[in-house]
């Protein structure tokens, strides 16, 4: 006879599988089952290998993947940028279920922070480029709080329209506020220090070091977000997404956690903006089209609700396709708009329907099962003795 808790170990392992089944299994289902079956160290090993492969990508320049007509490392930077953005937006849209349509606005704020404090065209105090990364996160996080405070108490629709407006307004402000230099913009934006053979490592023409920087940032952010996901914070977000009123009644301070999600998302958007500014070395008001926000949303939605790896892959794909297949470049908004609508109508769970793991020690259930079983046996023995 098995104890209930022992069955749990099996049913926990089998939960994702089940989720798959109810969500029309995809070709990714097998991959996922395999992944969930691996032990933790094995997973780390696989992740390590994937990371090494990713770091090697700009050097390998694999023939099928490469982008004729475009510098591959630079394309990789763009993909990484979209992946990072999708990662941040996924917290807001995918996990907390808040529709943030102005993500490009936060991205723009981050870029301008880097520009204003490092560019030779700016009259502001200069600080080292790397210092603008945390600064950009702080400033955009603050903007997120300012936008979130009035709107997050209201129904989700209001947040959507306010953020949509915000995305456009930031671009407008960049145009009409003299200090932001409109179309002229800022050149000579700073970059991280370091030289190789007497030449600086980080230049606007060489994408490889920038890609490595992006990748490192993505890995760090992923790990940190993973910590949040498997904590009361991540659980609160998913609970809010699933049923906000019920979450509140179960003791979740929903407003607080929504604000956190929105702010964290904004900060990551700002971070990617600052990285972007450094990588291309030039910021003006033409780079932050609101329509790009729609691409970001499409990336997250393709990835599937709340699945951070899916979101990153979605982001990379959205960035990559127009480079690889040049003929779709000018139609990309239309194409991804159609993709977005079709996904929502026919497959709202995204392409990779994975679910979030929300317990830091979910895997310890197996061990627990054994222990509880021992306890139970002990109790029974005691009882018999009595």
Partner 1 sequence: MASHDNDIPGDEAPEQHERTYSTGHLSLDKSGEDASGTPADGIPTDSPEAPPDLDSEAAQIVHQDRDIAVAVGDNLVEIRDLTVQFGGLTALDAVTFDIRRGEILGLIGPNGAGKTTCFNAMTGVYKPTSGTVTLEGKPLRGMKKHAITRAGFARTFQNIRLFGEMTALENVVVGLDARHQTSVLGALVRSPRHIREEKTSIEHGMALLEFVGIADKAGELARNLPYGYQRRLEIARALATEPKLLCLDEPAAGFNPAEKEELMALIRTIRDDGYTVLLIEHDMKLVMGVCDRIVVLEFGKKIADDVPKAIRENPAVIAAYLGVEEEDADGAA
Partner 2 sequence: MLHALVAESWLTFHWSDFLSNFWNATFDGLTFGAIYALVALGYTLVYGVLNLINFAHSEVFIAGAYAVIFTLSGLGFGPSPPTLSPIAIIGDLLVALLAGALTSAIVALLVERIAYKPLRARNAPRLVFLITAIGMSFVIQYAFFLWRGAVAEPSVTMYQDKAIFIVFGSTIYLSQLIIVGAAVLMMVGIDQLIRRTRIGRGIRAVAQDPDTATLMGVNRERIIMTTFVIGGALAGAAALFYVMKVPQGVIYNGGFILGIKAFTAAVLGGIGNIRGALLGGLLLGMIGNYGAYLLGDAQWIDVVSFIVLVLVLMVRPDGILGSNLGKVRA
State the residues that interact with partner 1 by CB under 8 A. 1-5, 7-15, 18-19, 22, 224, 227-228, 230-236, 238-239, 241-243, 245-254, 260, 305, 355-356, 358-362, 364-365, 368, 372, 375-377, 379-380, 382-383, 386
CA distance 358 to 221: 17
**Which one of partner 2, partner 1, none interacts with residue 340, CB within 5 to 8 A by kind?**
partner 2
Minimum gap (Å) between residue 325 Cβ and partner 1: 34
Minimum gap (Å) between residue 205 Cβ and partner 2: 29
Minimum gap (Å) between residue 49 Cβ and partner 1: 25
Minimum gap (Å) between residue 254 Cβ and partner 1: 7
User: Which residues neighbour 369 within 8 Å (Cβ) at sequence distance 6 or greater?
Assistant: 3, 5, 6, 8, 9
Q: What are phi and psi of 164, to 5 degrees?
A: -60, -45
Helix axes 28-37, 15-22, angle to 10 degrees: 170
Does the CA dihedral 103-106-112-115 come out positive or negative?
negative
Point out which span in 29-37, 147-155, 228-236, 279-287 binds partner 2 (CB under 8 A): 147-155
Taking CB under 8 A as the criterion, the residue among 150, 253, 326, 378 binding partner 2 is: 150
Taking CB under 8 A as the criterion, the residue among 8, 54, 169, 359 binding partner 2 is: 169
DSSP H stretches of helix in the chain: 4-13, 15-22, 28-37, 40-60, 72-89, 103-118, 129-151, 156-176, 207-229, 232-242, 244-249, 254-280, 290-303, 308-324, 332-346, 365-385
CA distance 150 to 15: 38
**Which one of partner 1, partner 2, none interacts with residue 379, CB within 5 to 8 A by kind?**
partner 1
Closest to partner 2 by CB, 152 or 271:
152
**Which one of partner 2, partner 1, none interacts with residue 169, CB within 5 to 8 A by kind?**
partner 2
Applying CB under 8 A, does 97 fall inside the site for partner 2?
A: yes
Minimum gap (Å) between residue 127 Cβ and partner 1: 25
What Rg, from alpha-carbon coordinates, does the chain have?
23
**Which one of partner 2, partner 1, none interacts with residue 228, CB within 5 to 8 A by kind?**
partner 1
Find out whether 140 and 269 touch, Cβ atoms under 8 Å.
yes
Find out whether 305 and 91 touch, Cβ atoms under 8 Å.
no
**Which one of partner 2, partner 1, none interacts with residue 230, CB within 5 to 8 A by kind?**
partner 1
Does the CA dihedral 97-292-280-144 come out positive or negative?
negative
Find out whether 260 and 152 touch, Cβ atoms under 8 Å.
no
Closest to partner 1 by CB, 316 or 343:
343
Q: Is 373 exposed, middle or buried (0-12, 13-18, 19+ CB in 10 A)?
A: middle
Taking CB under 8 A as the criterion, the residue among 84, 108, 139, 290 binding partner 2 is: 290
Closest to partner 2 by CB, 93 or 233:
93
Which positions lie near partner 2, rule CB under 8 A? 93, 97, 99, 101, 123-125, 147, 149-151, 154, 156-158, 160-162, 164-166, 168-169, 172-173, 175-179, 241, 290-291, 294, 297-298, 301, 330-331, 333-334, 337-338, 340-341, 344-345, 348
């Amino acid at each position: 006879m098995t104890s209930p808790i022992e069955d749990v170990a099996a049913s926990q392992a089998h939960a994702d599988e089940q989720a798959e089944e109810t969500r029309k299994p995809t070709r990714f289902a097998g991959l996922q089952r395999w992944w969930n079956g691996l032990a933790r160290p094995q997973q780390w090993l696989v992740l390590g290998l994937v990371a090494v492969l990713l770091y090697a990508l700009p050097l390998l320049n694999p023939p099928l993947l490469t982008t004729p007509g475009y510098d591959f490392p630079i394309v990789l930077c763009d993909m990484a940028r979209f992946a990072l953005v999708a990662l941040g937006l996924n917290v807001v849209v995918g996990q907390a279920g808040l529709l943030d349509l102005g993500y490009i606005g936060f991205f723009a704020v981050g870029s301008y922070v880097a520009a204003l404090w490092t560019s030779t065209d700016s009259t502001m105090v200069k600080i080292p480029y790397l210092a603008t990364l945390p600064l950009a996160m702080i400033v955009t996080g603050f903007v997120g709080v300012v936008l979130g405070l009035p709107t997050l108490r209201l129904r989700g629709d209001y947040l959507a329209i306010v953020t949509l407006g915000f995305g456009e307004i930031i671009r407008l402000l960049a145009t009409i506020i003299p200090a932001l230099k409109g179309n002229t913009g800022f050149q000579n934006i700073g970059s991280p220090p370091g030289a190789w053979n007497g030449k600086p490592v980080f230049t606007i023409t060489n994408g490889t070091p920038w890609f490595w920087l992006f990748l490192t940032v993505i890995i760090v952010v992923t790990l940190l977000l993973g910590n949040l996901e498997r904590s009361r914070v991540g659980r609160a977000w998913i609970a809010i997404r699933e049923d906000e009123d019920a979450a509140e009644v179960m003791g979740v301070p929903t407003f607080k956690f929504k604000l956190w999600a929105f702010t964290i998302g904004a900060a990551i958007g700002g971070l990617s903006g600052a990285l972007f500014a450094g990588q291309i070395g030039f910021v003006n008001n033409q780079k932050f089209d609101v329509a790009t926000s729609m691409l970001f949303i499409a990336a997250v939605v393709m990835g599937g609700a709340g699945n951070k790896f899916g979101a990153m892959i979605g982001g990379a794909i959205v960035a990559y396709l127009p480079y690889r297949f040049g003929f779709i470049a000018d139609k990309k908004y239309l194409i991804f708009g159609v993709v977005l609508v079709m996904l929502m109508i026919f497959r709202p769970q995204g392409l990779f329907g994975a679910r979030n793991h929300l317990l830091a020690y979910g895997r310890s259930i197996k061990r627990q099962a054994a222990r509880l079983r021992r306890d139970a046996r002990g109790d029974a023995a005691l009882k018999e003795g009595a």
